Amino acid sequence: MGPVSTGRRQGQAPDPDTTTITSLHGRSKLPGLALAALGVVFGDIGTSPLYSMQTVFSIDHNNVKPVPVDVYGVISMVLWSITLVVTFKYVILVMRADNDGEGGILALTHLLVDKVQQRRRMSIVLGLGMLGAALFYGDSVITPAISVMSAIEGLTVVDPGFQDLVLPLSVVILSVLFFVQRWGTAAVGRAFGPVMTAWFIILGLLGVPHIVEHPGILRSVSPTYALAFVLEHPLTAFIAMGAVVLTITGAEALYADMGHFGPLPIKVSWFAIVFPALALNYLGQGAMILNDPSTIDNPFFEMAPVWSRLPLVVLATLATVIASQAVISGAFSVSRQAVRLGLLPRLLVKHTSKEEGGQIFVPLINWVLYLGVLALISVFGSSANLASAYGLAVTGTLLLTSLLFLALAHMAWHQPLWKLIFYGATVVLVEVFFFAANLAKVVSGGWLPLLIASLVILVMTTWRRGFNLVSRSRRELEGPLDEFIEAVHNSELPRIPGTAVFPHPNSTTAPLALRTLVMFTHAMFEHVVLVEIVNENVPHIRHKDRVHVHDLGDAADGIVHISVHVGFNDSQDIPRGLALAVGKSAELDFEPQQVRYFLSVLTLRPTGDARMAAWRKRLYVLLANNAASRTEVFHLPPERTVVMGAELAL
């Protein structure tokens, strides 16, 4: 629909300290990257055959019958949903919208915010991105639960007596998965590709014998069978769409994980392996159901010969763990981007690899997801029950991505109207029907992602509103920096030997810690460095472009301001930024290991007259008080860091 759009600066490349697979594109061979993409990108959509057809034909959810009209219609809907939404929308079109090679709904929001001039439109764009991110968190809770449970439920096909083991085994596997996050996924990640390659090959092989046995199922490749199903049984088809959408869960991962591998390896993996394997498997499930309607209880595992079902359960469990890992890692990345956009309070982010900047661990998000997953499997009890909750999160994210993409194509790429209308008629219309079909499941479980998204949006909007109010009051407390420097000149304060560094969010006001230090000691350090972290709207900033020194008017006063520019995938490491700044001016001549850091903090009280509801003030104060320590976020050495500040009534 449009040209490749990037947010990168001319010639910009990732830093050595934040190297990801993206930086290896020029040196790595395409087959290796395509194999790696199989292990990360396609885990979610690759495990959809485990539960999607079971849900479509479930009596508890739909009225779809194992008869030719319904089966041909459903399989046709599945194949064309994958073709339109995954292949046409994501692989061919949406992956063209990259922000310095990075994808995902927040990266798309970044791109669009840069192009919007009107404040109202900017608020709408940011609101859509916020809603998409909120729904992604819902997806991040539901995916591990439904994927792992659907795999373990394969034991009941081997022996119905294993039913009582499904819940405890799911809890054990998920617990191990979340507890190992702290050590990173580098070692496990190397095994992801081969495991998922084996998984997709087996998906295709499972379908072939049943297709050969009932070749008539190949008719469903024609979209006319989907249309016939809709025309003959409109209500049944509409309800079935709420379950058919489960076949495209994980489509957003194609876009979100683009920055790790690049678009070409993902496209190669999709067209060469994933799409054919999924098509063969769904065709095979349809053929088997026509031959033996009793297999609708668990069609995926019923496809396999009896002797192979137990090994298949083991492989399926590995595949679902990989799918869960991908969405958990995605939640970590989304959280870090949300913090940089000012939508969430500071979160402690731990880098689990020295080579790959994209491998991070966010403890708070990890344990919140873990508790949420345990609550889900305890309350819902089976993957079939969870399926009702799953669809709304998926369809909501799909629809929001399409709306943002259309806005980008119109406002930034200036695409002709007929292209936008064509996209709307082929993709958006289908996604609207998917979303509407899942709205019908709000009572039976669809309320869950809505509840999760509502809570996330409440937190994001409260934080954004409260942060703006506090920032305004803080600027009043701090006062203009130029007036403070002039006062220092006039007072001729004695100077303390050494260098003091004051992390500060802007270059126009004086840090509270600096004012407090001068007020109580009536002296000032010989060298004072004000450090501002500037979050750029790109994933990475190169070392040589990262630090900028700003003139404050008088080099003799020993006060210098530097800005450390970081992308949303870079670490906010102030000591490292200082090391890069040494020698850039005469004032920046010091040993980085000897400097002292002074942090400005505000103690908040929800008792002021700010225009904000009392309960939201209390929520904001709670979030602020539990935000990650800036000492850790900025990588400051605790033994050389002093915290100083003031109290503010919000």
8 Å CB contact between 74 and 56? yes
Question: How does residue 303 score in pLDDT terms, banded at 50, 70 and 90?
Answer: very high
- As a whole number, mean pLDDT of residues 216-228 equals 96
Residue 32: pLDDT over 90:
no
- Euclidean distance between CA atoms 492 and 468, whole angstroms: 36
Instruction: Determine the pLDDT at residue 13.
Output: 33
Mean pLDDT (the chain, rounded): 85
pLDDT in tens, 140-180: 898 899 889 988 988 888 888 888 889 999 999 999 889 88
Residue 503 in this model has a pLDDT that exceeds 80 = yes
User: What phi and psi values does residue 35 have, to the nearest 5 degrees?
Assistant: -65, -45
Over 80: is that where the pLDDT of 14 sits? no
- Model confidence band, residue 338 (pLDDT cutoffs 50, 70, 90): confident
Q: Check residue 170 and give its pLDDT.
A: 92
Exposed/middle/buried for residue 270 (C-beta within 10 Å: 0-12, 13-18, 19+) = buried
Domains, in order of start, for the chain: 30-440 (1.20.1740.10), 474-649 (no CATH)
Q: Flag whether pLDDT at 186 surpasses 70.
A: no
Going by the DSSP 8-state scheme, the letter that residue 102 receives in this structure is B
**Six-digit token string for 424:** 């709307």
Give yes or no for a contact between 266 and 98, defined as CB atoms under 8 angstroms apart.
no
Which pLDDT tens digit goes with each residue over 547-568? 999 877 776 778 899 999 988 6
- CA 265/CA 32 separation, integer angstroms: 9
Token output for 468:
């703006």
Residue 444: the pLDDT is 79
Closest CA to 492 of 428, 557, 447, 546: 557
Q: Rounded to the nearest 5°, which phi and psi values hold at 258?
A: -60, -35
Q: What is the pLDDT of residue 10?
A: 31
Per DSSP, the three-state class of 356 is: coil
